[in-house]
Amino acid sequence: MNHDTHTPAAAGTPAAGGPAPAPAPAPDFRRSVVYQVYPRSFADSNGDGIGDLRGITEHLDHIAGLGVTDIWLSPVYASPNDDNGYDISDYRAIMPEFGTLEDFDELVAAARERGMRIIMDLVVNHTSDEHEWFRQSRSSRENPYRDYYIWRDPAGFRDDGTPIPPTNWVSCFSPSAWEWDEATGQFYLHFFSTKQPDLNWENPRVREEVYALMRFWLDRGVGGFRMDVINAISKGEEFVDDPRVSAGGRESSLYLVANGPRVHEFLQEMRREVLDHYDTITVGETPGTTVEDGLKYAGFARGELNMVFTFEHMMLDGNPEGYGKWWDGRVSLPALKQNLAHWQKGLEGRAWNSLYWNNHDQPRVVSRFGDDRPEYRVRSAAMLGTVLHMLCGTPYIYQGEEIGMTNVAFPELSDYDDIEQRNAYHQYVTDGGIFTHEQMMRYIAHRGRDNARTPMQWDASENAGFTSGTPWLRVNPNYPDINAAADRPDPHGVYQHYRRLIELRHRHEVIISGDFELLDPEDPHTFSYVRRLGEQTLLVTANVSDEDRALPFPVPEASGPFTLLNSNVDPAPEAPDQPLRPYEARIWLAG
Ligand code: GLC
Ligand code: CA
């Protein structure tokens, strides 16, 4: 007899027929900490140079060791990889390069054994043009799938007979958001590459298809979704020209259709139809979203999403002349802090924040907002972790961030892979003549997406232990010095620092629920704030520079003396008002 499963009823347990035991409380998404895996670049288990599901399963202890609750996988569905999986050709199949559905099930189970859930990337603003729906849709105007996508007649024809697109909209990855289909004589809309046609969410059948595929994965045990550009799904029905493009602008017109007329209705429908029936965590990727929009998407009582990714703090170091993100200037620290504070205060008590420095679309934060010179790399990476993780919201860690991986600067354009970088090079150098080759290579090294996509650096062996074959994208040459095998066991390394930050979050309610106040909004060198909950005051002070700095404010009042919870520079400070050493970050608790 198995005594674990047949425990006799203890004294005081209600007899059969008594009141039913209270159901276990649902896991609270506010307590989650998420680790993002970009599968192509994480770990290759079979030597073909491409990361895969088994590679992830083999490295789960690295992730679990941090104390995270969820793993978000960038897309693993079947895809021709025009945009590395963000162009899906079959929502119910795994990309063969990544493995099989069985491998996927194993990953879900192995993660669950370690107390973690798998979050899928839901890419349903668009599909691949190789998806069966689109093959059908483009086959004739009468096909039942025609209305799954957004087709429009040309605005007219030029003298030479070429059709004029319905509007002047610019796509994120190509000059026009409209692609001409010769066979059926109409244009289709694509806000990303020509191989990523936008779905028509006005069509209820499209929405039902999406809800069905979500159930497919939830029934397989996934714990939720990160929803790709989900705020662009409602485009309205009347399309007008983009005034910025008319004025000579070159940035994408996506903002025009962001947060469209029916987006909240669609998301509420999705919650009723799907999400309410499962225990999930949801986060929407929502470019062009303000605090006011965030309150709608992620409001506690609105029944839409748990949280959204704001882009505002990621756009503060863009090109000052309006050429998108392509630039190599530093962010203004006051602007960065004030924006984060604006979201902290704006959502406080009413909606939930996501917290991130990195993802597969952003350069490496230690190079961008920190200092990746050898003497300061670890310290500044840890400092950035501290100031982010003590904020109110769900922290997201992107693979490699936890070991302080840096940007890369490859010598040739052909060393890179990303479609966005290639397109931008054409737009601004080859066709536009706006930047020189040298300038653009510098901007790519600062801001390009491939900074995040170079293979994960596991150890000092060839190709950083990522693959025994030839990696699909070159490894950052700094891997002999920067890798998980070296960093993880080091008590002063980045990994152990992140692990301690997450442990603090799991232990102290003030980090989850405390309110927020920024202490040094104008100071160009420090980043400090307090979180308060009842008698407790959590004080975070950080130096975002390479010189000693005094606190530019008096130590805030608290109900008792401050004790140090965490710091990243030895010897540990004795009092909060001691000057901060270069890139030092401290966490104090009183009460
Ligand atoms: C999102 C993804 C990005 C992708 C785009 C199109 O922004 O994060 O990687 O290229 O959507 O799906
Ligand atoms: Ca592989």
Q: Can you give the pTM of this predicted structure?
A: 0.95
Domains of the chain are 29-125+207-487 (3.20.20.80), 132-189 (3.90.400.10), 515-590 (2.60.40.1180)
Out of 361, 422, 449, 450, mutate this one to test ligand 1's pocket (max ligand atoms within 8 Å of CB): namely 361
pLDDT at 326: 96
Q: What would the pLDDT profile of 3-41 be if each residue is shown by its tens digit?
A: 333 333 333 334 444 556 555 555 699 999 999 999 999
Q: What number is the average pLDDT over the span 468-485?
A: 98
Q: Which of 226, 228, 283 to mutate to test the pocket of ligand 1 (most atoms within 8 A of CB)?
A: 228
Residue 414 has pLDDT above 90, yes or no: yes
**83 C-beta closer than 6 A to ligand 1:** yes
Q: What is residue 16's predicted lDDT score, i.e. its pLDDT?
A: 45
- Comparing CA positions, the residue from 293, 288, 230, 285 lying closest to residue 256 is 288
Q: Which residues surround ligand 2, an ion (CB under 5 A)?
A: 44, 46, 48, 50, 52
pLDDT at 19: 59
CB 222 within 8 A of CB 118: yes
Lowest-pLDDT range of 17-26, 92-101, 431-440, 497-506: 17-26
Is the CB of residue 468 less than 8 Å from the CB of residue 52? Answer: no
Question: Using an 8 Å Cβ cutoff, are 567 and 585 in contact?
Answer: yes
Q: Mean pLDDT over residues 78-106, rounded?
A: 98
Is there an atom of ligand 1 within 6 Å of 179 CB? no
Is the shortest distance between the CB of 192 and ligand 1 below 6 Å? Answer: yes
- Whether 490 is a known active-site residue: answer no
Of ligand 1's listed atoms, the one at least distance from the Cα of 86 is: 12
Distance (Å) from CA 91 to ligand 1 centroid? 16
Q: Tell me the mean pLDDT in the region 243-272.
A: 96
The pLDDT of residue 20 is: 60
What digits encode the pLDDT tens for the residues 298-313? 999 899 999 999 999 9
- Could you tell which of 192, 225, 252, 362 is best to mutate to test the pocket of ligand 1, judged by most ligand atoms within 8 Å of the CB? 192
For 145-150, which contacts have Cβ atoms below 8 Å and span 24 or more sequence positions?
A: 147/200, 147/203, 147/205, 148/199, 148/200, 148/203, 148/205, 148/206, 148/209, 149/188, 149/189, 149/197, 149/198, 149/199, 149/200, 150/188, 150/189, 150/197, 150/198, 150/199, 150/200, 150/235
Catalytic residue among 70, 121, 198, 228: 228
Active site residue 401: no
Provide the angle, in degrees to the nearest 10, between the axes of the packed helices 263-273 and 204-219.
40
Cβ(44) – ligand 1 distance below 6 Å: no
Mean pLDDT of 211-218: 98
Q: Return the closest-CA partner of residue 417 out of 36, 45, 47, 50.
A: 50
